[in-house]
Amino acid sequence: MKFEITKSPHMFRAGTVASDKQVGVDRKSNVIRGYAVAEEGRTKTPGRGEFDLESLETLKKLGNADPRGVRIRFQHPSMSDDGLGKFMGRAKNFRIDKREGRHILRADAHIDKTAMEPGPDGSKARGAYLMDLAESDPGAFQSSVVITTDKLEREPDEDGNRRPPLFRPTKFWATDFVDEGDAVHGDIFSSEESLDEFFEGSARRLPSKIALAASQYLDQIFPDSDREVVESRFNAFRDRYLLRRYGSAEFSIEPEDPGMDQETKDALNKTNEALESLAKSTTEKLSELTELISQDRAERKAELSASERASEITGICEMSGCVEKGEAAKWIADDKMSAGDVRKILFGRMCEKNKPVGDDKSDKFSTKKAARDENEKFRQEYAEHQSIHEQLGVSIDRYIAERREEEGLPVQESAAA
């Protein structure tokens, strides 16, 4: 088997089990004898770690090394409480015995005289309280060790399941009395009777050996599983076992559907009708909203087109320089007047204003050319007033196309060609 020791030590607190012949409360000496300090096996917290016999032997050696014993406190210190005032006494005579196939580290808790005095508020002495509790109800509390330990990482088992590391203690700080310890499987003494009491309340009590074996087996097959997983698997096994043994007459995994009463059916029908009405209303509202959106888009588009038309007419008027006051606004207000119409009007005015010399000869020349090339006349017209056309932003191709359209001639793809 291959082991590796982690470099960083870990502080650890674990519960206990116990049981040998020297077990019980010694009132005369104020000693709780044979209480459980640590037990062979895995801790309750999945994957945290495991005590083996070597771990317990090391703790026994560390515990007996100091003749004064190991400190005992009433509960662990917390983030806001350093433990001062909780001192109970010293643990001595560490020893190991074996019960139900498991090794148990035990010790004797020697209660200090200060713990046998009443508290400042007049409460019962903690030492007397713990001895009374150990006699009347030993399952009401447990012990927990506080140690510094290395951990031996182990290879997975033969089924490939991860095994928790083994503890290798290096320092034994304290053993405290607590409500519940992490590695505890019984009461403060871990006696067989306490396990029997644990299973009381049933018509048939399980023998403690069977209970321990079942607990150990569950710990092995679910070492790192959450509570929900173990509970689900355990309940599923229980259901299958009862069904196989007693049949479905006494135990049914899936109880029969009792059906639905008329009142529930009526309520369900009303709910369905309300949902259908709501869906219809929602559809109608969505349709109205879609129509409003489409209408708004059309209006915005029309506004944009009107704005562009007004800008174009204004630009043509400014470039021509022959528009009377208020005439541009009049044309813009007239929805039937396009920018092209305005351009033609202004072009005529500019031509009259800038009529070239020798117009008759030019017309005679143009008439002769028209027989050979029907576009020549339009080119000549453009050339005669080229500066005006350029001012208005009209190219020769555009001018020829518009003139051909006016003359009822087919518009060519490239009129200037």
Report field, pTM of the whole predicted structure over 0.75: no
Sequence length of the chain is 417
Q: Taking 60 as the threshold, does the pLDDT of residue 354 lie above it?
A: yes
pLDDT at 253: 41
Q: What is the mean pLDDT of residues 216-227?
A: 76
**Two structure tokens written together for 293:** 């959106």
Q: How many CB atoms lie within 10 A of CB 61?
A: 12
3 — pLDDT class (breaks 50, 70, 90): very low
pLDDT at 346: 81
Please state, in angstroms and rounded to a whole number, the distance separating the CA atoms of residues 77 and 74: 9
What is the per-residue DSSP string for 296-338?
A: HHHHHHHHHHHHHHHHHHHHHHHHH----TTHHHHHHH-TT--
Nearest to 109 by CA among 24, 183, 3, 201: 24
Q: In the chain, what are the domain boundaries? A: 3-190, 327-407
> What pLDDT, in 10s, does the model give residues 106-129?
999 999 999 999 877 778 899 999
Cβ contact 85:73 at 8 Å: no
Q: Taking 60 as the threshold, does the pLDDT of residue 240 lie above it?
A: yes
Q: Which residue has the tokens 């000869």?
A: 361
Which range is least confidently modeled, 10-24, 32-46, 51-65, 330-344?
10-24
**Two structure tokens written together for 350:** 């500019």
pLDDT at 323: 80
Percent of the chain exceeding pLDDT 90 equals 19
pLDDT at 84: 60
Which range is least confidently modeled, 55-69, 122-136, 362-376?
362-376
